[in-house]
A and B are shown apart, each in its own frame.
Chain A
Amino acid sequence: MAQVLHAATRKGLLTYRPGKGGAWRLDGTAFLGEPVSAALHDARDGTLYAALDLGHFGVKLHRSEDGGANWTEVAAPAFAEEKDRPPPDPMSGEWPPKKEGPSVALIWTLAPGGADRPGRIWAGTVPGGLFRSEDRGESWQLVESLWNEPSRPKWMGVVYDQAGMHSVLVDPRDSDRVTVAISTGGVWRTEDAGGSWTLFGNGMRNEYMPPDKMRDPLSQDVHRMAACAVRPETVWVQHHNGIFRSEDGGLNFTEIEAEAPSRFGFTVAAHPKKPKTAWFVPAVKDQYRVAVDGRMVVTRTDDGGESFRAFSDGLPQENCFDLVYRHGLELDGAAAHLAMGSTTGNLWVGSEDGAKWAHVAGFLPPIYQVSWGAEA
Chain B
Amino acid sequence: MARISFTGHLTRHLACPDADAPGATVAEVLEAVFADNPRLRGYLLDDQGRVRKHVNIFINDEAIADRDGLSDPVAEGDEIFVFQALSGG
Contact = CB atoms under 8 A, between A and B. Distances in A.
Interface of A: 54-58, 60, 73, 76, 78-82, 85, 95-104
Contact of B42 (A55, A78, A102): A78
Contact of B55 (A57, A73, A96, A97): A57
A58 B68 contact: no
22 contacts: A55-B87, A56-B55, A56-B85, A57-B10, A57-B13, A57-B42, A57-B43, A58-B43, A58-B52, A76-B42, A82-B48, A85-B68, A85-B69, A96-B66, A96-B69, A96-B71, A97-B69, A99-B48, A99-B69, A100-B48, A101-B47, A103-B50
Nearest to B65: A96
B21 to A, nearest CB: 20
Interface in B28-62: 39, 42-44, 46-50, 52, 54-55
Contacts of B52: 56-58
Nearest to B55: A56
A54 B88 CA distance: 12
Interface size class on chain B is: 20 to 34
**Top-9 shortest CB links A-B:** A103-B46, A103-B47, A99-B68, A96-B66, A101-B48, A57-B43, A56-B54, A79-B47, A78-B47
A82 B71 CA distance: 17
B26 to A, nearest CB: 12
A102 B68 contact: no
A98 B50 CA distance: 9
Given A55-B88, A57-B55, A102 B47 contact: yes
B84 interface: yes
A306 B26 CA distance: 63
B49 A99 contact: yes
Contacts of B55: 56-57
Nearest to B44: A57
A52 B48 CA distance: 19
Residue from B46, B50, B68 having most chain A Cβ neighbours under 10 A: B46
Given A85-B69, A99-B68, A73 B39 contact: yes
Nearest to B85: A56
Residue from A57, A60, A102 having most chain B Cβ neighbours under 10 A: A57
A177 B68 CA distance: 39
A340 B69 CA distance: 45
Interface of B: 9-10, 13-14, 39, 42-44, 46-50, 52, 54-55, 65-66, 68-69, 71, 84-88
Given A81-B49, A82-B48, 5 more contacts: A57-B55, A95-B65, A99-B48, A99-B69, A103-B50
A98 B47 contact: no
Nearest to A82: B48
Contacts of B66: 96
A346 to B, nearest CB: 19
A107 B49 CA distance: 19
Contacts of A97: 68-69
A124 to B, nearest CB: 16
A335 to B, nearest CB: 38
A24 to B, nearest CB: 27
A289 to B, nearest CB: 19
Contact of B84 (A56, A79, A81, A104): A56
Contacts of A79: 47-48
A54 B48 CA distance: 17
A55 B52 CA distance: 9
A97 B43 CA distance: 23
B13 A96 contact: no
Contacts of A78: 42, 47
A99 B54 contact: no
A80 B48 CA distance: 7
A133 to B, nearest CB: 16
A80 B9 CA distance: 27
Contacts of B14: 73
B1 to A, nearest CB: 25
Given A54-B13, A58-B43, A96 B68 contact: yes
Given A56-B84, A57-B10, A98 B68 contact: yes
